[in-house]
């Protein structure tokens, strides 16, 4: 397991950086090492790294150039929710298309993780994210239903304005290794929570990815003008308002119940006498 | 008849059927036993007669005089000296000789057999599988091993100067356990011959067991305010239960929906979900929310769940959050829980009001008040009337809702509830 191996490493590092290099009796060293491991294990467990992503598709009707089998040109993609470079965590993405496409398994080796095709049909695309092996060796699969046709079927189809279907989600790594934390600590695409007090990370090692010739972020992506906005704030506000209403009504119900309980008590005493 | 004319079919077909049936019937009559008994055996004559019909009639030989006596007997297969009694068939006053007829089924080792075994053991270097193949009488590998080791142990004990000398010898310290070995090998072969489906089922059960031990560990850990390491306890206990098989699928994150374990408190529920999520190493926020919503609604019936969703819609909240960040999901989950509490309290209130009316009248007869309380249709159950539908009191505007959430709850609610309250006060 990644966790156990990294915690061993951390244990040793901890010794190297924070403790003075004086020889210690063996028994003591083992004890402190073990307690260090336990503390670090604990700490690493409370730290969850998350990467907000948006995945979906943009589809343009080809208008005059549309044929029966190629009526739309579409692009399916996975991007950082804030358009930052998710290549820091994701190594490659595999898009599994409908079997009617030639070579339906499309592999994208570097960001921006997108795939463009032309077609006429809507189908489910399986998007499998493969992370850098040293960060996570387990892939994650998302499912997106390709949308080509607008909701409002009655309106005229425009070849200038595309149909956009995007979905927001967060990739969560509940127990990241120390190396993981080091790699992403200040990266804009990754949410790293505040580390527990006293827990210090070694400085990051410069990470060079040989594949990176083009930039991985999607801030100036040609399709970025169509990207949807996902604001956490709006939804939080909505939820807070709803909760307030519910809580107010709950209080009301509780008052009513206690009132009735009181009435029952009175009636009981009356009937008993 | 006319139909047959029209169709042009031959007229005598019916009479032909009638003729063939009585023939078949007489063929079926069984000989010697009643028809019903014959039918029990299948209703058809057997292919080969099991017993010669002649044998059935003439059994007792005339020259022999048969009597039966109640006599004691012993069993050579037994080690204790047990004397039992049974009926014995005496022919012409002479009781039968020989050992108890079932004694031969005891697995006795003769000196000859044992010598053969030891010879083979020497020539084949204690390779019992080969020895078992070469052994003249059919004995299982476990039986041979058992005999060899017990004889070897006996010899060792006999030749040792004192019992203490040999107590450390593996033959004495770890004696061969036949039943255990047979069982172990049987279990091994079962695991080996498992079908893929069985493997999958086993993996699911083990994963479920892991989750349960997880939740227990975490619950205990939460009490002791110390987080234990989850991964070690699970596999160990699972391995003790069954022979370890690495059957968990290594393919892309298989997040199969597993039914929520029904615990006593909500916190343990959540903790077990969190623990199982941690085991996944990577997961999607929407998946986590889904699991937690399922767990939270595990104690509620389908109708209650639908009502929760209805309430969410009335409140203008997406059933699945549009921006499911960690914070949003947490809020969403809390909201769902609060709505569940709300619905339960509502029900409680209804019951209490019904109780109240029975107190007042002293009977369960219908009073003008109570039926109206309880006869709420689905529509009247609405707690939060969305802005748009509520005519009169407030002209619904989305902004207003956002600006002053508190106010909204007061205006429509009393209006909705007022008739109820009056009724209660009236009585």
pLDDT in tens, B293-327: 988 888 888 899 999 999 999 999 999 999 999 99
Determine the pLDDT at residue B25. 52
Sign of CA dihedral A13, A16, A17, A18: positive
Q: pLDDT tier at B220 (50, 70, 90 boundaries)?
A: confident
CB A83 within 8 A of CB A217: yes
- Are A243 and B334 an interchain contact pair (Cβ–Cβ within 8 Å)? yes
Nearest CA in chain A to B413: A249
The CA radius of gyration of chain B, in Å to the nearest whole number, is: 41
Of B229, B277, B332, the CB nearest to A239: B332
Total-model pTM: 0.51
Give the distance from residue A243's alpha carbon to the nearest chain B alpha carbon, in angstroms. Answer: 6
Which of B285, B335, B402 shows the shortest C-beta gap to A246? B335
B-chain residues near A247 (CB < 8 A): 338
B124 Cβ partners below 8 Å, 6+ apart? B130, B131, B134
Angle, alpha carbons B212-B216-B218 (nearest 5°): 115
| A169 to B352: CB separation less than 8 angstroms, yes or no | no
Decide if B409 and A248 are in contact by the 8 Å CB cutoff: yes
Per-residue tokens: A140: 């994650």
Which residues of chain B make contact with A52, given a CB cutoff of 8 A?
325
Q: Considering only alpha carbons, which residue of chain B is nearest residue A240?
A: B331
**Rounded Cα–Cα distance for residues B95 and B90 (Å):** 5
Is B316 in contact with A131 (Cβ distance < 8 A)? no
Q: What SS3 class is residue B88?
A: strand
Distance CA B48, CA B51 (A): 9
> In sequence order, what DSSP letters do the residues of chain A get, joined into one string?
-HHHHHHHHHHHHHHHHHS------HHHHHHHHHHHHHHHHHHHHH--EEEEEEEEEEEEE-GGG--SS--EEEEEEEEETTS--GGGTEEEEEEE--TTSSS-EEEE-SSSEEEEEEES---EEEEEEEE-TTT-SS-EEEEEE---S-S-TTSPP-SSSPEEEEEEEEEEESS--HHHHHHHTT-TT-B-PPPPTT--PPPPPP---TT-SS----TT-TTGGGPPP--HHHHHHHHHHHHHHHHHHHHHHHHHHHHHHHHHHHHHHHHH-
Contacts by residues B39-47 (CB-CB < 8 Å, ≥ 24 positions apart)? none
For residues A183 and A204, the answer to whether their CB atoms sit within 8 Å is yes
* Mean local confidence (pLDDT), B66-79: 86
Query: Which of A24-28, A178-182, B61-65 shows the lowest per-residue confidence on average (mean pLDDT)?
Result: A24-28
| Cis previous bond, B377, omega within 30 | no
Among candidates B233, B242, B236, B229, which has minimal Cα distance to B203? B242
CB < 8 Å to B423, chain A: none
A240 interaction partners in chain B (CB closer than 8 Å): 331, 405
Could you report how far apart the first and last alpha carbons of chain A are, in Å? 73
A271 contacts B405? CB cut-off 8 A? no
Tell me which residue of A103, A149, A102 sits closest to A123, measured CA to CA. Answer: A149
Within B178-229, where are the H helices? 178-192, 196-224
> Which residues does chain A have within 8 Å of residue B427's beta carbon, measured at their own beta carbons?
none
CB < 8 Å to B352, chain A = 257, 260-261, 264
- The per-type count for chain B, helices as H runs and strands as E runs, is 20, 3
Neighbour count for residue A226 (Cβ, 10 Å): 16
Q: Which residues pair with A49 in a beta bridge?
A: A173
Residue A149 CB contacts under 8 Å (≥ 6 apart), including other chains: A122, A163
Phi, psi values for residue A203, rounded to 5°: -65, 150
Residues listed for chain B: 427
What's the pLDDT at B408? 42
Most confident of A127-131, B23-27, B161-165, B166-170: A127-131
Q: For B330-386, how does the pLDDT look when each residue is reduced to its tens digit (9 = 90+)?
A: 999 999 999 999 999 999 888 888 887 776 665 444 444 444 444 444 444 566 765
Dist CA A184 CA A180 (whole Å): 6
Closest Cβ–Cβ partner in A170, A175, A245 for B325: A170
In a mutational test of the B interface, the residue from A169, A235, A236 whose CB has the highest number of chain B CBs within 10 Å is A235
Cβ A189 vs Cβ A88: under 8 Å: yes
Residue A123 backbone dihedrals phi, psi, to 5 degrees: -155, 175
Residues A140, B282: C-beta atoms closer than 8 Å: yes
Given this model, what pLDDT does residue A213 score?
57
Supply φ then ψ for residue A31, to 5 degrees: -65, -50
Q: Is the pLDDT of residue B122 over 70?
A: yes
Q: What is the mean pLDDT of residues A63-92?
A: 92
Considering only CB atoms, B323 lies closest to which of A230, A267, A268, namely A230
Whether the CB-CB separation of B373 and B355 falls below 8 Å is answered with: no
Q: Closest CB to B402: pick one of A52, A173, A237.
A: A237
Answer yes or no: are the C-beta atoms of B373 and B420 closer than 8 Å.
yes
Cβ–Cβ gap A264/B348 under 8 Å = no
Partner residue opposite B342 with nearest CB, options A168, A234, A246? A246
Tell me whether strands A72-80 and A49-61 are parallel, antiparallel or unpaired.
antiparallel
Whether A172 and B283 lie within 8 Å, measured CB to CB:
yes
Q: CB A140 to CB B252 under 8 A?
A: yes
CB pairs under 8 A between A and B: 160
Nearest residue of chain A to residue B226 (CA atoms)? A42
8 Å CB contact between A34 and B269: no
How close is the nearest chain B Cα to the Cα of A220, in Å? 23
pLDDT category at A86 given cuts 50, 70, 90 is very high
Query: Are the beta carbons of A165 and A150 closer than 8 angstroms?
Result: no
pLDDT, position B188: 92
């Amino acid at each position: 397991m990644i966790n156990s191996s990294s915690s061993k490493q951390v244990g040793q590092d901890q010794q190297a950086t924070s403790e003075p290099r004086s020889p210690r009796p063996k028994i003591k060293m083992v004890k402190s090492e073990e307690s260090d491991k336990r503390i670090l294990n604990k700490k690493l467990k409370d730290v969850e790294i998350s990467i907000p992503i948006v995945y979906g598709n943009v589809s343009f009707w080809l208008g005059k150039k549309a044929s029966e089998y190629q009526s739309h040109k579409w692009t399916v993609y996975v991007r950082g929710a804030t358009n930052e470079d998710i290549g820091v965590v994701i190594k490659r993405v595999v898009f599994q298309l409908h079997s009617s496409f030639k070579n339906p398994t499309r592999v994208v080796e570097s960001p921006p993780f997108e795939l463009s095709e032309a077609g006429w049909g809507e189908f489910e695309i399986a998007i499998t994210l493969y992370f850098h092996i040293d960060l996570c060796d387990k892939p994650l699969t998302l499912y997106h239903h390709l949308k080509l046709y607008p909701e409002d079927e009655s309106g005229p189809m425009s070849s200038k304005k595309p149909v956009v279907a995007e979905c927001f989600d967060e990739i969560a790594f509940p127990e990241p290794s120390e190396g993981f934390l080091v790699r992403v600590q200040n990266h804009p695409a990754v949410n790293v929570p505040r580390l527990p007090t006293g827990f210090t990370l070694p400085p990051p090692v410069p990470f060079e990815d040989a594949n990176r010739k083009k930039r991985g972020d999607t801030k100036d992506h040609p399709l970025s003008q169509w990207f949807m906005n996902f604001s956490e704030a709006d939804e939080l506000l909505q939820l807070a308002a709803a909760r307030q209403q519910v809580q107010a009504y709950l209080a009301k119900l509780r008052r009513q119940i206690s009132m009735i309980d009181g009435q029952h008590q009175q009636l009981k005493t009356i009937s008993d006498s | 008849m006319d139909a047959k004319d029209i169709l042009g079919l031959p007229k005598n077909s019916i009479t032909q059927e009638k003729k063939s049936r009585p023939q078949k019937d007489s063929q079926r009559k069984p000989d010697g036993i009643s028809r019903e008994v014959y039918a029990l055996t299948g209703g058809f004559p057997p292919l080969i007669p099991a017993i010669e019909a002649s044998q059935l009639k003439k059994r007792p030989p005339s020259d022999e005089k048969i009597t039966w006596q109640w006599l004691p007997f012993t069993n050579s297969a037994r080690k204790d000296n047990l004397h039992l009694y049974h009926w014995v068939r005496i022919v012409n006053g002479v009781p039968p000789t020989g050992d108890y007829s079932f004694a031969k089924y005891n697995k006795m080792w003769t000196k000859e057999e044992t010598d053969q075994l030891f010879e083979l053991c020497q020539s084949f270097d204690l390779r019992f599988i080969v020895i078992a193949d070469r052994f003249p009488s059919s004995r299982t590998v476990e039986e041979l091993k058992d005999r060899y080791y017990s004889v070897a142990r006996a010899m060792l004990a006999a030749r040792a100067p004192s019992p203490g000398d040999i107590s450390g010898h593996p033959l004495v310290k770890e004696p061969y356990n036949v039943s255990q070995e047979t069982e172990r090998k049987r279990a091994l072969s079962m695991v080996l011959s498992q079908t893929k489906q069985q493997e999958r089922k086993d993996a699911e059960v083990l994963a479920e067991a892991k989750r349960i031990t997880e939740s227990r560990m975490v619950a205990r850990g939460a009490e002791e305010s110390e987080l234990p390491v989850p991964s070690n306890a699970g596999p160990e206990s699972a391995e003790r239960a069954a022979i370890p098989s690495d059957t968990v699928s290594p393919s892309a994150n298989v997040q199969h929906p597993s039914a929520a374990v029904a615990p006593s408190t909500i916190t343990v529920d959540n903790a077990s979900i969190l623990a199982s999520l941690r085991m996944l190493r990577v997961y999607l926020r929407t998946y986590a929310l889904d699991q937690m919503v399922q767990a939270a609604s595990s104690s509620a019936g389908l109708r209650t769940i639908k009502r929760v969703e209805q309430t969410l819609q009335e409140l203008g909240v997406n059933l699945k959050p549009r921006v499911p960040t960690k914070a949003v999901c947490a809020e969403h989950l809390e909201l769902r829980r609060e709505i569940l509490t709300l619905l339960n309290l509502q029900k409680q209130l209804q019951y209490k009001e019904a109780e109240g009316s029975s107190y007042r009248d002293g009977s369960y007869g219908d009073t003008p008040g109570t039926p109206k309380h309880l006869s709420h249709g689905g529509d009247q159950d609405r707690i939060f009337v969305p802005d748009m539908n509520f005519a009169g009191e407030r002209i619904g505007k989305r902004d207003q809702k956002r600006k002053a959430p508190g106010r909204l709850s007061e205006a429509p609610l009393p209006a909705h509830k007022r008739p109820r309250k009056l009724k209660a006060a009236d009585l």
